[in-house]
Amino acid sequence: MNVLVIGGAGYIGSHCVRQLIAAGHTPVVLDNLVYGHKGALLPQVKFYKGNLEDKKFVGNVLDKEKIELVMHFAAYINVGESVSNPLKYYQNNVCGVVNLIETMLEHGVKKFVFSSTCATFGIPATLPLVETMPQHPINPYGQTKLDVENLLKNCARAYGLNSVAFRYFNASGAAEDGSIGEDHAPETHLVPLAIFAATGKRPALKIFGDDYKTPDGTCLRDYVHVDDLSRAHIAAFDKLDGSGMFLHYNLGTGTPNSVLEIIRGVEEVSGLKVPHEFGPRRDGDPDALYADSTKAKTELGWKIKYTDVRDIIATAWRWHSKNPNGFPKD
């Protein structure tokens, strides 16, 4: 299948591109490189630099490359920034998808895979999180993702669009061979931040809160390997052969790890100490978030390869050891 990967030069998108190739598909990447990296792209993959607001450009790519399915990984993801600058997030995360779907429908492409987030649930009343639980986001980032999910439901009914949304938990890790990995600016994810602290690339890691209702007082989160996420996306392709459907799945391991457990994992894998200090809680951080992914396992046959967080950390450590400064600057 010819697959257009929007945001295919970013963290999850670039890993998905490689998993698409491994599964026998032909990916084409469209990315504006605001946060993506040319260095994440394989030379044999066709690349188009552009923005979703340019509907004529996107339409030309769809036609030229005979695209059959579109995957979207191009959202802005910084929760704090979404609070301070919500217009930026609505413009990119919602308006960009509206433009994309309009263009897809105009060019006869009706299969869409969307990267959503567990942030659509907000603060859960019970755990683990299952797909049927109420969605009440507590920040603009989560709200924009939920808005797109609702858009996809409506487009299924109105236009026969077939789509699937994957609600990620904490995407982590890197390609097994260390060829690509996580390189955000600024970096906000715990595993790379702990690695940076261990290697002296940054000061002591700040832990937000040590008085949560968890075994060690720090937040519990569900860390899932980026390649496992990617394989779930591809497993959904066969489900999109009908007309007018919207599917949604949680993607997580179901086994939460605390902040201190991640720090100990980085120390074990690297052989280095992770200097850290405690600070006050951040507003809106729940004690724990972890997934029930039974639906994805049952309906898609999804199998998680990386069940131990230390194995996930090991892949991240391999990438950062080989690339201490991230990807080459474009």
Calpha distance 124→167 (Å, rounded): 14
Is the bond preceding 186 in cis, omega lying within 30 degrees of 0?
Answer: yes
Of the candidates 134, 247, 189, the one whose C-alpha atom is nearest the C-alpha of residue 12 is 189
What are the structure tokens assigned to 51, written together? 């923005």
Q: How many CA atoms lie within 13 A of 318 on its CB side?
A: 15
CA 206-209-213 angle, to 5 degrees, is: 145
DSSP for 156-224? HHHH--EEEEEEE-EEE---TTSSS----SS---HHHHHHHHHHTSSSPEEEE-S-SSSTTSS-EE-EE
The encoded tokens of residue 308 equal: 């131990």
CA distance 158 to 154: 6
- Which residue is catalytic, options 141, 212, 249, 290? 141
CA 136 – CA 27 distance, rounded (Å): 34
Would you call 223 a catalytic residue per the annotation?
no
List residues with catalytic annotation: 141
